[in-house]
Structure 1
């Protein structure tokens, strides 16, 4: 008995020592973590190539390298690791070489990283490579002047612009900006490169449309048929893409392709909504793609359609499944399609039977995506993350044999950080709806203490807080500041059925506001370790909108943080780029439905603003333009409401530079600390 007691004592002391060595996460830790991007599986299933981005805070930039690892997780080694960026590895179909992107072109190397050979040499650059099955052709995209017949013309046009003393733009159409860039005259075109002939073909020569589309595309919007005789791709041909979500799927018979002329293409999708991500069945008889039914709505349910290449018929195999499909992957035998989908706070993996629509869930928890299935169909390789783990590569047996972890590139760093697993609770929202919230306790949590509450509101609004490791709005990082974090998924959130998503449109400050405040009340009433005297709220994009709405509708929070938030719906309409979004959400334009814009615009309730507010915005944010922050901050200052404005002249909708991000975190925590009671 004494030996057992002694053993238990030693184990307890060891556990305490391990805990004592851990620490709360810092913003510097976020930028010290390696970030896995794309990956590929060798044809024989023995190797995985993947790219990893690391950041240097002092240099204020990142660098991307390529690594190899055996598919059983052994023998991790660098393939390409230089001060330049190498990314997007793709095994050749014979498995003997790896293509990758480097200095704006596509290169090849052997499996040891040697014998480099430049595959493309095109003036306008090449990216997004896709192999044909026989390895004799590739697809890639490149930004060109649509009316230029060749690369010499593109080079001359660029040179003329560079040498011109006049930098003015003549803008004649929408959309002239997107997210954080001016579109200019160039368009992204799809190119075919025949390696045997050493010839390039612009498959949409002369078109003013983009492939992939400017927005609302998928993980892959162009691909070869298995026999290499056809190409499927996605493009929006509407005259005004700023008001259109009508991406469509097209096919080109490569026998009709001739150099210097546009190839004839055929549209196979029929919906006026968003169609994308064509994927050929292994036998080449069908094309699966995602499809939204409703025109103008970017967050409609993504159904999986099956196009019969022989008959031209279309079948919706997820019509009765209330899930919105993410990536779609055929099983090698063509009987099933695997897909990921938002599922409450997770992004789960499912399998649907193509012939009868029967559904099976493969992985529920965590956030899972970027699937590749082995040729024998026995394993799915995918990326997986949780709030306690950034993306790593995992594998899953399709016979139900369980999940195994392949990479662990941040394991050593994470081992020294104290995390609490996310919890969830459900509260009653408007009209009796059940609203799920994530709750994360601060590190080294003591149930006998009181902690301030940080109430986080997600963007979208058709998005959701999930069990992921976000490098900007990281729930664990907010908790590491000593806060109990509550992150609700109110109306508009994905993962709870399409009806729940739909019920925010036209009602931005209505049911969703009740959902949020009821979740806030539930947390205060049911978690006695929350200090009700010290509660704060923060959000970005639509979350920032809701912070501004809260400003005019309650004074229950000590202080607020609004990042890239919408303030004035009418001026927002006139300066944003994707007009389909406000026109759907507010049922028209400001001149056809002004009452709805006025009803839900936070600026109209400025007379009630009292709560101290930190405003954050980037100059290159064209989604929610900087004027929204100017109007908000001017209003706060003019009313005498305590406020500060953190303005980034070199950022957009997101904060992407390491030193800017460190300032972002410090400013937010300092602001919240200032208003603790």
Structure 2
């Protein structure tokens, strides 16, 4: 027996990269890590700009600045800006001499666009001065104008008019929100009378911003909503953007977007596409012959709640010749860009617990891995737009390494790390390499899980098992470094973590993601339980008599389902989880997809509504459970946690309710996060130790 344990210890130590000389991670270690943002490579590929946030428990002490590093790694990164306000949305000018970005500096009531001139040096200068603020800058092809967005009152034609409307509303003696259509809320904000509009402004001194949508009939459509993405046409005379015109139908149909074109000279936008699928992120080929985009089938056309985001192409300017470029890649595309010669599309996509980089011909076909890394996630893909050889940069992270900026070789298997903001700190922490494992479920499905070992792991000991359930469900556990549910901080007291990618998870094919429709809790819950049973049988260091489960959002839903259907776990944790799917349908900010996933509205009382609703099994509730929720959460509103609490108290189940008044769907404030982790660990300790 001792020999067998020794062999297991050696195998696990090798598999997980365990080192005894390091210390266990604390919340302070986690929270005070520098947060390295996404990279943007210069047009010539020589420089990379990115932002770095110096986190602090008190938000007033937090700062974020722009940094720059040569893409060849010949010099260390250097700071470009120094201000309290965070910089974001940074973009290079076409000639690479300037960077435009969004920031809220000392005199700004709202964020504005700033420009820093790298050739002339000096501090960044404010470019916009709108009472409504400005964000998401994009340079025109000739570098003489900037496109950006601002949220304004629909009836205002000028900034002064917009400012006066805002001032008049502040003077009203009553406070009321009035609605005649859906939706009324979004995540943690009430929908108001403002709309996001497209603006342009010349770089000439004293130039004024121009609202391209002001006064048009287009924005008077009650279903109008800017889709969030826009791009200059190759000739620089127009803007192509994605927009929704059926947002007011969100209660009874899927909301989709189409492409529109608006001329800089003004006039009504011209509709370019007419499908009921979703288009986003328009990008033109370097020769201007094609318009590429992210294309996603809608619920309306597919009949499924989840559909893969793919890359599609239209001929420009005819908008004919529609072609799916990634039709052979059964993975969701996160972002993409096109090489300077127009022959290759670079993209990153989720794949079985990782974010990977691929290339595909601009005419479509098989997608090939750009770099084959067995660990981690590549995000924030950025490629050079000039020169003979493409320069590829990205952000890279894994479960034991916070994000850093890297350069990806066009050939080879090793990326080059360009930033090292957290390298020393991460090296001092005992964060064992995570392990992938697969099971074949009772339904014959291949189900993937990640396993995380605690600091100071000793294979000869027995550890409790904490089954952590991801949200979504159209999401997945990945080999990445998180802050809200950090694997190693959760495992730190001495728990083995099991993270299962149940049916409905992404990165395992479109069909796998769709098969949760009509089976929202039962099937995924069984897969989570079966993966836990497999781990207990096959890893002797797991103590099967001490198991807990928990999660957030859909993970909280599933924790409540486990409360209703099994007494297998010693305790449970449910953050932002529904207990009553019918009241969740009626009070969430988004409802139609829930109806489709269940096969009909709640009043149909079909089998799904009747048999897969946790509250219908309230008489079975007996497992001790910690219930937490953000009071500003409109995706899984407070009412569901209160319903859960009422049932738990009525059934005399050992339970605790924690409401965070200032938080939304996620716990984002430093001190609140620290308190949450403390409460979670205290709860687990009570029932597992």
Match of 1:327 in 2: 335
Which residue among 371, 376, 389 is the counterpart of 1:366? 376
User: Per-residue deviation at 1:601?
Assistant: 1.0
Pick aligned residue for 1:154 from 162, 171, 176:
162
Residue number among 289, 294, 297 corresponding to 2:298 in the alignment: 294
Instruction: Identify which of 476, 481, 487 aligns with 1:464.
Output: 476
Residue 128 of structure 1, aligned match among 136, 139, 160: 136
Deviations 1:256-290 (A, max 9, x none): x33xxx5322222x432322111111111101112
For 2:225 and 2:423, the matched residues in 1 are separated by: 37
What does residue 316 of structure 2 align with? 309
Where does 1:12-411 land on structure 2 (aligned, <5 Å)? 21-58=21-58, 62-73=62-73, 74-103=75-104, 104-111=111-118, 114-196=122-204, 198-205=207-214, 206=216, 207=219, 221-240=229-248, 242-243=250-251, 244-252=253-261, 254=263, 257-258=265-266, 262-268=267-273, 270-295=274-299, 299-311=306-318, 312-364=320-372, 365-374=375-384, 375-376=386-387, 377-400=389-412, 402-411=414-423
* CA deviation vs aligned residue, 1:33-86 (integer Å, no higher than 9, x gap): 011223322223222221111222245763221112222332322111222333
CA contact (8 A) 1:617 1:653 kept: yes
Q: Tell me the equivalent position of 1:11.
A: none
- The separation in 2 between residues aligned to 1:443 and 1:327, in whole angstroms, is 35
Give the whole-Å Cα distance in 1 for the aligned partners of 2:39 and 2:129: 24
Stretches of structure 1 that go unaligned for 5 or more consecutive residues are 1-17
For residues 470 and 113 of structure 1, do their structure 2 counterparts lie closer, same or farther at Cα, with a shift above 3 Å needed? Answer: farther
Structure 1 residue 445 displacement after superposition:
0.9
Range with bigger deviation, 641-650 or 301-310: 301-310
Indicate how the Cα distance of structure 1 residues 304 and 116 shifts in structure 2: closer, same or farther if over 3 A, else same: closer
8 A contact 2:407–2:415 mirrored in 1:
yes
Shift of 1:88: 3.0
**Which has the larger displacement, 566-575 or 646-655?**
566-575
CA contact (8 A) 1:187 1:210 kept: no
How many residues get paired? Answer: 651
Distance 1:634 1:444 in 2: 40
Name whichever of 220-229 and 126-135 sits farther off: 220-229
Shift of 1:318: 2.3
- Stretch of structure 1 that moved more, 185-194 or 204-213: 204-213
CA contact (8 A) 2:222 2:248 kept: no
CA contact (8 A) 2:452 2:497 kept: yes
Q: 1:539 to 1:356 in 2, by over 3 A?
A: closer
In the alignment, the residues of structure 2 paired with residue 603 and residue 146 of structure 1 have an alpha-carbon distance, to the nearest angstrom, of 43
Decide whether aligned partners of structure 1 residues 213 and 430 sit closer, same or farther in structure 2, where only a CA change above 3 A counts: farther
Could you tell me which residue of structure 1 aligns to residue 664 of structure 2? 652
- Report what 2:8 is aligned to: none
Distance in 1 between residues matched to 2:158 and 2:166, nearest whole Å: 13
SS for the counterpart of 1:221 is strand
For 1:435 and 1:654, the matched residues in 2 are separated by: 27
What secondary structure, in the 3-state scheme, does the structure 1 residue paired with 2:586 have?
A: helix
C-alpha contact 1:606 1:635 (8 A) present in aligned 2:
yes
Q: Distance in 1 between matches of 2:497 and 2:249?
A: 39
Aligned twin of 2:630: 618
Distance, in Å, in 2 between the alignment partners of 1:285 and 1:321 is 24
The range that moved more, 104-113 or 205-214, is 205-214
Cα displacement (A) at 1:199: 3.8
| Alpha-carbon distance change, 51 to 146 in structure 1, aligned in 2, over 3 angstroms | same
SS in 1 for 2:674: helix
In 2, the alpha carbon distance for the partners of 1:445 and 1:113 equals: 52
SS of corresponding position for 1:363: coil
- For residues 118-152 of structure 1, the C-alpha deviation after alignment (integer angstroms, 9 at most, x for no partner) is 21112211001111121112111111111212212
Q: 1:482 aligns with which of 476, 484, 494?
A: 494
Shift of 1:431: 1.9
Bigger CA drift: 140-149 or 55-64?
A: 55-64
What secondary structure does 1:232 align onto?
Answer: strand
TM-score, scaled to structure 2: 0.90
- Contact 1:245–1:273 under 8 Å retained in 2: no
Q: 1:213 to 1:299 in 2, by over 3 A?
A: farther
Give the conservation status (yes or no) of the 8 Å contact 1:234–1:247: no
- Give the Cα–Cα distance (whole angstroms) in 2 for the partners of residues 80 and 438 of structure 1: 39
- 1:355 to 1:521, Cα distance in 2 relative to 1, 3 A: same
**Larger relative contact order (Cα-Cα within 8 Å, sequence gap ≥ 6):** 2
In 2 relative to 1, CA 625–378 (structure 1 residues): closer, same or farther, beyond 3 Å? same
Larger mean Cα displacement after TM superposition, 289-298 or 642-651: 289-298
Instruction: Give, in whole Å, the separation in 2 of the partners of 1:141 and 1:212.
Output: 15
Distance in 1 between residues matched to 2:548 and 2:298, nearest whole Å: 38
- Residue 503 (structure 1) aligned to one of 485, 492, 515: 515
Q: Deviations over 1:542-568 (max 9, x none)?
A: 110110000111111110000000111
Alignment of 1:581-592 (within 5 A): 581-592=593-604
User: What is the deviation of 1:20?
Assistant: 5.8
Q: Does the alignment pair 1:553 with 2:554?
A: no
Unaligned segments of structure 2, at least 5 residues: 1-17, 105-110
Q: Could you tell me how far 1:359 is from its partner in structure 2?
A: 1.8
**Change in 2 beyond 3 A, CA 1:356/1:461:** closer
The question of whether the paired residues in 1 share the 8 Å contact of 2:68 and 2:77 is answered with yes
Q: 1:619 to 1:198 in 2, by over 3 A?
A: same
Partner of 1:7: none
Q: Per-residue CA shift, 1:516-554, capped at 9, x if unaligned? A: 111011011001100112111011111101100001111
Is contact 1:491-1:503 (8 Å) kept? yes
Provide closer, same or farther for how the CA distance between residues 90 and 310 of structure 1 changes in structure 2, counting only shifts above 3 A. closer
Is 2:584 the partner of 1:577? no
CA contact (8 A) 1:457 1:487 kept: yes
TM-score scaled to structure 1, two decimals? 0.92
* Alpha-carbon spacing, 1:425–1:401, altered in 2? closer, same or farther (3 Å): closer
Q: What aligned pairs does 1:405-444 form with structure 2 within 5 A after superposition?
A: 405-444=417-456
Q: Distance in 2 between matches of 1:227 and 1:211?
A: 30
The aligned counterpart of 2:4 is none
1:416-448 deviations in whole A, cap 9, x for unaligned?
101110111111224200101100111121110
Deviation at 1:481, TM superposition (A): 2.2
- Residue 173 of structure 1 and its aligned partner are, at CA, apart by 1.7
Shift of 1:93: 2.0
Counterpart Cα distance in 2 of 1:387 and 1:547: 24
Q: Structure 1's 531 and 60: CA in aligned 2 closer, same or farther, altered over 3 A?
A: farther
Match of 1:398, SS state, is coil
Shift of 1:249: 3.6
Shift of 1:326: 1.4
